Amino acid sequence: MQAFSLFSLGGVLLVSVEEDIDDDGLRDLVARVSFRVSRETIAGVIVDLHHFEVMDSHFAGQLQALARVLRLLQARMVVVGLCVPVVMTLLDFGISLPEMEFALDVEQALVRLQEAGPDQGNGP
């Protein structure tokens, strides 16, 4: 079973990630999302992490890299579904995610992507 799923929502790609994703799965996710955005008319990517209870610095770094790649491809990325333990872990370990935007859920992420253009805002 694949550790992530991709769903097209018009000009937005929804990426649902399972917590058990490994390094190979993470590389595949970055490659597939980047490829889809480069080949299709996708203005935004929503990464749903509601299955996560723990996030390490490697995964956070890969998300940052994906956000940079998408920005170069003229698309924005919004991360949703972070639970309190994940946020607390990121803060405790001093993991900063300055290039990423966040929303509480997919609905709010869609609103955020519709309200601002691809070159506006980096989040709250």
Instruction: Count other C-beta atoms under 10 Å from residue 24's C-beta.
Output: 9
Burial of 120 (0-12, 13-18, 19+ CB in 10 A): exposed
| Architecture category of domain 4-115 in CATH | 2-Layer Sandwich (3.30)
Residue found under tokens 């992490």: 49
pLDDT tens, residue order, the chain (124 aa): 688 999 999 899 999 999 889 999 999 999 999 999 999 999 999 999 999 888 888 899 999 999 999 999 999 999 999 999 888 888 888 888 888 899 999 999 999 998 865 454 444 3
Ramachandran angles phi, psi of 71, nearest 5°: -60, -40
